[in-house]
Amino acid sequence: MAKWALALIGLVLVSGSVLATHAPHSKVLSGAEIHKTLVGKVVTDGHHWSYYLKPNGNIDAEEMGRAKQGHWAIHGNQMCLSVPTGAPDDCAEVVRGGKGLVFQMNGMALIDVIVESPDPKRSSK
């Protein structure tokens, strides 16, 4: 009986370590998927900034309570943002992991983002 118990404990430990090494399923979005998912929506970190990505390529931004303007573009499979207007583009892959989205560069996660529908007043501007 003790041999079975030891074998079972060993199996649980091995399977637990194998499960722990597998990252959750994630997918880098294509340019078309980025467009469908983000354009016409508000992208935010939930606290410090929010960017309304207008269909015409402009951004109505708010950073730390201050209104700013910018622009966005999709280059290949990357979302490129420039805020304020005239700033260099910051480009990142958009990765879906479970229900969330992450902006990442060179395979490293930069920030988790939340995608929201715009306020109807904001989207009519």
Domain-located, residue 83: yes
Q: What is the pLDDT of residue 36?
A: 97
Number of independent structural domains in the chain = 1
Domain-located, residue 65: yes
Domain-located, residue 1: no
Domain span holding position 84: 26-119
Domain-located, residue 63: yes
Count helices and strands in the chain by DSSP H and E runs: 3, 9
18-67 pLDDT tens trace: 333 334 578 999 999 999 999 999 999 999 999 999 999 999 999 999 99
Domain-located, residue 56: yes
Report the CATH number at residue 62: 2.40.128
pTM strictly above 0.85:
no
Domain-located, residue 125: no
Domain-located, residue 37: yes
Whole-angstrom CA distances from 22 to 16, 18, 94, 107, 121 are 10, 7, 20, 16, 44
